[in-house]
Amino acid sequence: MSTVTVFSYQKYDSKYLIPALEQHLTKKNVTILPVPLSVETAPLAAGSDCVCLFVNDQANEAVLDILASQGVKLILLRNAGFNNVDLDIAAKHGMSVRRVPAYSPYAVAEMAVALMLAVVRKIPKAYNRVREHNFSISGLEGFDIRGKVIGIIGTGNIGKITAEILKGFGPSRLLGNDAYPSEELKAMGMEYVSLEELCKESDIISLHVPLFPSTYHIINESTISMMKPTVVLINTSRGGLVDAKALELALRKNKIGGLGMDVYENEQSYFFHDCSDDVFDDETLTGLLSHHNVIITAHQAFLTKEALEQISTTTITNIKDFVSGTESKNEVKPIPKLKNSDLFKGSGAK
């Protein structure tokens, strides 16, 4: 392994990832591209043994066919999710796909709680008022998190840490939904329930599941209809978990109390780019941004010093393990196609 092309380069990569790659492979063997990987840009990886991708880079069948024809052998994901890679096609071409599964679950969990507090206490609205020398607090009423029912959908590393943080707020009930319940969270007092019960009972719902075909739009018109009209929904996982159109409609009809999201299902056209001078043609995103009880950030939950350092370190380890033939727990292989009911069984039975 001697050459790598980095797609979707961001300025912060120059502080951590790029120096690590250049030190390991030498500067001349690292190609940096600010454009995302797509069918149109895949030929730019010609001459590279490896490509390094980010969350919105597309490694579908057509893209992987091009990369394979150019001799790419390794796909490095500098994030935990792998929904943007067709694992079956990668395996067919003999490509190894390796990710960074745990860069900093604390970063994302803490961001989820930060968004929750910002929505509940209307902090952005209050901040903007004071900036304009308007010190009125009328209309800024929030509610105590203490004594409320909090639901966590997905209790893996990030969901578990989120639950541990929120336990400190003193909720009346802490509900979880996951096919594989955490015994540690059960001991802490989490009740594992069906998705339906969690939606019906929760005052706050936070999403922490990966995006698979089976989890696509798990928050939809049907599940939203089960929720309290005052519910606060938080999503720092993947945008495709939520039907954004159904969510925006529910907000217009006052069927959602508040929304905090760091992801959006069509974010690839906007997030990580300055679109301030562009004509904004996404009606759903425009609609979401128009609501006073909605806070949207641009996929920055992972963005901490600690996380970026870990991403760089793990990426280099993934290269070294590939070259040496060392078995890696970070390698992602094709997985069986699961139904939604298999992932979220409600009772917690495996």
Q: Where are the beta strands (DSSP E) in the chain?
A: 4-6, 30-32, 50-53, 74-77, 96-98, 149-153, 173-177, 191-192, 204-207, 232-235, 258-261, 294-296
Q: Please indicate whether the domains covering 4-103+304-337 and 105-296 agree at the CATH topology level.
A: yes
pLDDT tens digits along 163-188: 999 999 999 999 999 999 999 999 99
Q: Which amino acid is at 55?
A: V
pTM exceeds 0.85: yes
Q: Reduce the secondary structure of 273-339 to three states and give it as a string.
A: CCCCCCCCCCHHHHHHHCCCCEEECCCCCCCCHHHHHHHHHHHHHHHHHHHHCCCCCCECCCCCCCC
Q: What is the pLDDT of residue 335?
A: 74
Mean pLDDT of 86-104: 94
**Percentage of the residues of the chain whose pLDDT score is greater than 70:** 95
In the predicted model, is pLDDT for residue 275 greater than 90? no
User: Binning pLDDT at 50, 70 and 90, where does residue 1 land?
Assistant: low
CATH architecture of 4-103+304-337: 3-Layer(aba) Sandwich (3.40)
Q: What is the pLDDT of residue 167?
A: 97
How many Cβ atoms are within 10 Å of 182's Cβ, its own excluded? 18
Q: What is the pLDDT of residue 337?
A: 59
Q: What is the pLDDT of residue 305?
A: 95
User: Binning pLDDT at 50, 70 and 90, where does residue 279 land?
Assistant: confident
Catalytic residues: 238, 267, 299
pLDDT tens digits along 287-330: 999 999 999 999 999 999 999 999 999 999 999 999 999 999 99
Q: What is the pLDDT of residue 291?
A: 96
- What value does the mean pLDDT of the chain take? 93
> CA 14 → CA 11, 19, 309, 318, distances in Å?
6, 7, 12, 19
**Percentage of the residues of the chain whose pLDDT score is greater than 90:** 85
Which one has a higher pLDDT value, 167 or 280? 167
Show me where the domains of the chain are located.
Answer: 4-103+304-337, 105-296
Query: Domain 105-296 is in which class?
Result: alpha beta
- The Cα–Cα gap between 75 and 55 comes to 13
Q: What is the pLDDT of residue 250?
A: 97
User: Binning pLDDT at 50, 70 and 90, where does residue 336 land?
Assistant: low
- The Cα–Cα gap between 30 and 44 comes to 13
In the predicted model, is pLDDT for residue 136 greater than 90? yes
In the predicted model, is pLDDT for residue 342 greater than 80? no
pLDDT tens digits along 202-218: 999 999 999 988 899 99
Mean pLDDT of 248-274: 93
Decide: 273 and 237 in contact? Cβ < 8 Å. Answer: no
In the predicted model, is pLDDT for residue 341 greater than 50? no
Q: What is the pLDDT of residue 2?
A: 79
pLDDT tens digits along 27-81: 999 999 999 999 999 999 999 999 999 999 999 999 999 999 999 999 999 998 8
